[in-house]
Structure 1
Amino acid sequence: MTTLDDLPIRDDLRGKIPYGAPQLHVPVALNVNENTHPIPEDVAHDIIARIAQALLSLNRYPDREFTALREALAGYLGHGLSPDRIWAANGSNEVLQQVLQAFGGFGRTALGFTPTYSMYPLLSSGVGVEWIGADRDADFELSPETAVRAVEEHDPDIVILCSPNNPTGTPVPLETVRAVADAARGIVVVDEAYAEFAPPGSPSALSLLEGRPRLIVSRTMSKAFAFAGARVGYLAADPAVIDAIRLVRLPYHLSALTQAAAIGAVEHAPQMLAMVDDIRGQRDRISAELAGLGYRPYRSWSNFVLFAGVDDPQATWAALRDRGVLVRDVGIPGTLRVSAGTETETTAFLEAIAAVGR
């Protein structure tokens, strides 16, 4: 049987493994940071009607500029953004890939602060960009001084700041984003996939876009909008950045069905986001009760909690799985990560972790 090693794949891809988490059928799946709340029924019916309408013209290519969706996303984000400063793709991973294709390539570098989202180095290697992982401060925080020092040392072509950070949940202070954007000579991407789960009123890097044409803010509909299966991500940036991405995007990359579904979701944003407060509450409940059990949860502005004090993560992961609860071992020694689910799912996790013990 032919193996990967038998194929003439690029040398820089040899030995790498694809991104992925265990896909197991368990009663309570809290391992991939999904929004486990269902889409409101009336919203779902409206989205279905929009998709049905789009089906009638599937013989034609979709609007390659997805004009209506960009208008809807600009309105949702606010901050005085216009549609020509918005871009969308099939999930924020594709958005980031397009940024790396446009501004990266062989001989260029991308800098991030580890531990962080494991897709960043994979996306970078896929387009020939060298990935550089710099250290964070204690407790996975990131100060302006630490971040700027790494930028000055490595002089990267692209910097990616994940805020709140995955897999740790820690936010990147706006002061750090500002300092990096002002210090870096290249593109700075702030990945705000979990931004809606931050405390109400928390500032977004969107407020820093004006006057910074090399700053990009990436978002997703997978998390707060409970739209993971639809695969819709987007970014806000200077119009010139959007023009650069057009050079590398595949033609008609966003299907008519995807556009219809996404527009429907965004136009019902208040209903779609009504569950966010509940998720925040369950996240904070997880942190408080884990601390009471002797674990050490890290500060989180996301929809998950990374907690330390796990003597044997693999054994604890397996014991939780055997009790019907799936969490994530992200490879940070002595830790596990759990998504904040519904109240029932959170209770199931907390009862299981209490029974399993450290």
Structure 2
Amino acid sequence: MIGTDDLPIRDELRGMSPYGAPQLDVPVRLNTNENPYPLPEELVARIAERVSEAARTLNRYPDRDAVILRTELARYLTRTTGHEVGPREVWAANGSNEILQQLLQAFGGPGRTAFGVEPSYSMHALIARGTGTGWISGPRREDFTIDTAGAVEMIAERRPHVVFICSPNNPTGTAVDAGTVLALYEAAQAARGGRGALVVIDEAYAEFSHRPSLLPLIEDRPLLVLSRTMSKAFGAAGLRLGYLAAHPAVVDAVQLVRLPYHLSAVTQATALAALEHTDTLLGYVGRLKDERDRIVAELTGMGYEVTPSDANFVQFGRFEGEGGARAVWQRLLDRGVLVRDNGVPGRLRVTTGTPAENDAFLAAMRELTPITAGTPAGTPAKENHR
């Protein structure tokens, strides 16, 4: 039986596992940070209209540079952040993962390194390795905020070519303040000297945050990039549309490595339809923020240790004793509720769902792990670990 490691693949890929989360058929699936609300019917109809128009010219290649889409994305960012962005400062691709890959293809690669503060979005490290870029893991504090002084020290010592900052951070939900971003940016530029280092702010969950976007920080910082997605706030995970905002020179650099006609006409048409319904879709975001805060309050009331969240998910724990977090994950699954075991010791992550889905999750938590006298906060009672 031949396996992957028997093939002549690159050495740094041997023994690795592909990114993925369980896709199980359960009543309540809260493990992949999807928006639980289907697109409204009027948007579905508008998508059909735009795709029908695009279908008439599918014998031709799509707009290679997606100019109309980039113009509308720039308008969306300007409107929602208050910071003016033009289409030459925006680039779009198939999900924010392709954006990150293109950035690493252009600014990383063999002989270069990327730096991230973990636990964080695991694709940062995976895409780095996939592009032949070395990976450096930096420190967080016990509360999952970035150890700024420690990160600055590591950047000065290791001199990475690319730095990733995830805000709100996945899987913890913690946001990063502007001061920390600026400290890491300045450290990265000083460490590399010359042409400096690229710093990428991954804002996939920005619309769910209590804090304003970090987008204004790109002003006069040509090596600071902001990455976004339409998968979360727009409820369009199946669309696969990500985008970045940065200095036009960075956009030009990314186009050196993008595949020809990488963004299909159908994808562009669908994304443009979604952008026409921004107000409706952001209304769903408001509901999800309220539900997220309810989950935080109720889990805290049960005695769990809950990481403050600015995203559409909540990290909670601590689960110790027999089986730890994995055992609790399985017991929730046995009750028809799928959450995410992201490998953070003693913790799980739950996506904010509809009120009914959240009710089911919270009911399962009450049934599964009642806090009893003498049990440390956030630790399931012993009788539930049989």
One-letter amino acid matched to 2:172: T
Find the counterpart in structure 2 of residue 192 from structure 1: 203
Residues 119-138 of structure 1: matches in 2 within 5 Å?
119-138=123-142
* Alignment counterpart, residue 278 of structure 1, candidates 278, 284, 287: 287
Indicate conservation of the 8 Å contact 1:50/1:261, yes or no.
yes
Indicate conservation of the 8 Å contact 2:31/2:340, yes or no.
yes
Residues 174-253 of structure 1: matches in 2 within 5 Å?
174-185=178-189, 186-199=197-210, 202-253=211-262
Give the alignment's Cα RMSD to 1 decimal.
1.0
Residues 48-127 of structure 1: matches in 2 within 5 Å?
48-78=48-78, 79-127=83-131
Structure 2 distance, partners of 1:314, 1:212, is 43
* Alignment counterpart, residue 314 of structure 1, candidates 316, 322, 326: 326
Indicate conservation of the 8 Å contact 1:294/1:309, yes or no.
no
Residues 286-301 of structure 1: matches in 2 within 5 Å?
286-301=295-310
1:52, distance to aligned residue in structure 2 (A): 1.2
One-letter amino acid matched to 2:141: D
Find the counterpart in structure 1 of residue 377 from structure 2: none
Percent of aligned pairs sharing the same letter: 55
One-letter amino acid matched to 2:130: G
Q: Which has the larger radius of gyration?
A: 2
One-letter amino acid matched to 2:279: P
Indicate conservation of the 8 Å contact 1:137/1:146, yes or no.
no
Indicate conservation of the 8 Å contact 1:143/1:176, yes or no.
no
One-letter amino acid matched to 1:344: A
1:56, distance to aligned residue in structure 2 (A): 1.0
Q: Deviations over 1:9-50 (max 9, x none)?
A: 111110111001111011110001111111111111111111
Structure 2 distance, partners of 1:52, 1:147, is 50
Structure 1 distance, partners of 2:100, 2:84, is 23
Structure 2 distance, partners of 1:149, 1:264, is 46
Structure 1 distance, partners of 2:5, 2:286, is 48
1:356, distance to aligned residue in structure 2 (A): 1.1
Structure 2 distance, partners of 1:48, 1:222, is 19
Structure 2 distance, partners of 1:217, 1:5, is 36
TM-score normalised to structure 1 length? 0.98
Gaps of 5+ in 1: none
Indicate conservation of the 8 Å contact 2:231/2:238, yes or no.
yes
Indicate conservation of the 8 Å contact 2:241/2:267, yes or no.
yes
- Counterpart secondary structure, 2:231: coil
Indicate conservation of the 8 Å contact 2:139/2:147, yes or no.
no
Moved over 6 A (4+): none
TM-score normalised to structure 2 length? 0.91
Is the aligned partner of 1:173 residue 2:177?
A: yes
Residues 120-159 of structure 1: matches in 2 within 5 Å?
120-142=124-146, 144-159=148-163
For structure 1, which segment, 318-327 or 92-101, has the greater mean C-alpha deviation from structure 2 after superposition? 318-327
1:203, distance to aligned residue in structure 2 (A): 2.4
Structure 2 distance, partners of 1:150, 1:349, is 40
1:277, distance to aligned residue in structure 2 (A): 1.0
Structure 1 distance, partners of 2:150, 2:356, is 40
1:110, distance to aligned residue in structure 2 (A): 0.3
